[in-house]
């Protein structure tokens, strides 16, 4: 019940009581005791008490700069210094931050987003069982939008072990059952040195694109059930279907 309604009801009650007292006094039939109010006979708390709140049904967690600002339900968010993590959905998980300026957003049942062994990394996972990991290096971006879709940009920050890093890597996948990976640890021949500027992009369903183990590589898959690979050297390019 809102405070305004409660105040209004109390005001109406006061007016009613005042009118009753006035009528009794002018009629001459009320005794001296008739104008008294028995406190036990009237309990105003019933008018102003709020009802017990119902369960929200939300699964939301927000963590900024290492502090949990909000947590409701089964969603979980963790952040480090100058980082932001937001999780929305049943058992969703967002983790940002062994570096600074990292961002992780997970939206969907069992969605997972990890960012930030390096700095200024961003991971976004949208959809049931989606997965996004960005950031053994700096400036990496991973974006997954679809159920059972995953991306890794710049290497696996969630692994906890970084041998080589990927900087300014970008991996995106839009569709269902897709995977896109860009950075040092992709393909059959992982890089032994840091790499930079790799791009992998998928638009479609059940497709895969991987680029890296070298620098400035591009792999793209535009369609259904396609595979694109540009790995093992620098300045490789592959787009499926081919032009």
Asked if residue 184 has pLDDT above 50, the reply is: yes
Q: What is the mean pLDDT of residues 24-37?
A: 45
Distances (CA, A) of 191 to 26, 154, 199, 217: 99, 12, 15, 13
Q: What is the mean pLDDT of residues 79-103?
A: 95
How many residues appear in the chain? Answer: 243
Sign of CA dihedral 236, 240, 242, 243: negative
Q: Can you count the helices (H) and strands (E) in the chain?
A: 2, 20
Asked if residue 137 has pLDDT above 70, the reply is: yes
Q: Cα 103 vs. chain centroid, distance in angstroms?
A: 10
Looking at every residue in the chain, the average pLDDT score rounds to 82
Instruction: Grade residue 43 by pLDDT with cuts at 50, 70 and 90.
Output: low
DSSP 8-state class, residue 158: G
> Residue 141 pairs with which residues in a beta bridge?
122, 170
Cis peptide before 216 (omega within 30 of 0): no
98: nearest Cα among 71, 141, 66, 69: 66
* pLDDT number for residue 161: 60
Beta-sheet pairing, 141-145 with 122-126: parallel
What does residue 84 show for φ and ψ, rounded to 5 degrees? -130, 130
At 83, list the tokens.
Answer: 């980082």
At 11, list the tokens.
Answer: 């005001």
Q: Cα 133 vs. chain centroid, distance in angstroms?
A: 14
CB 172 within 8 A of CB 182: no
Q: What is the mean pLDDT of residues 142-158?
A: 92
* pLDDT number for residue 88: 98
Provide, rounded to the nearest whole percent, the portion of the chain with pLDDT above 70: 74
Rounded CA separation 106/92 (Å)? 6
Chain segment 95-115, per-residue pLDDT in tens? 998 889 999 999 999 999 999
């Amino acid at each position: 019940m809102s405070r305004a309604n409660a105040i209004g009801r109390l005001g109406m009650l006061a007016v009613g009581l005042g009118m009753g007292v006035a009528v009794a006094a002018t009629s001459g039939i009320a005794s001296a005791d008739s104008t008294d109010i028995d406190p036990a006979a009237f309990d105003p708390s019933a008018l102003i008490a709020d009802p017990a709140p119902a369960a929200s049904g939300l699964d939301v967690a927000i963590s900024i700069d290492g502090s949990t600002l909000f947590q409701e339900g089964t969603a979980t968010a963790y952040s480090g210094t100058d980082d932001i993590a937001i999780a929305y959905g049943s058992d969703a998980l967002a983790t940002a931050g062994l570096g600074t300026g990292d961002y992780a957003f997970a939206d969907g049942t069992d969605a997972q987003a990890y960012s930030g062994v390096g700095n200024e990394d961003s991971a976004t996972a949208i959809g049931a069982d989606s997965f996004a990991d960005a950031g053994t290096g700096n400036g990496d971006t991973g974006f997954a939008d679809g159920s059972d879709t995953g991306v890794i940009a710049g290497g696996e920050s969630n692994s906890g072990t970084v041998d080589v890093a990927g900087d300014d890597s970008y991996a995106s996948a839009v569709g269902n059952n897709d995977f896109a990976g860009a950075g040092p640890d992709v393909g059959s021949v992982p890089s032994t040195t840091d790499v930079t500027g790799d791009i992998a992009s998928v638009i479609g369903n059940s497709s895969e694109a991987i680029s890296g183990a070298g620098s400035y590589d591009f792999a793209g898959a535009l369609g259904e059930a396609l595979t694109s690979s540009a790995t093992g050297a620098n300045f490789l390019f592959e787009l499926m279907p081919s032009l």
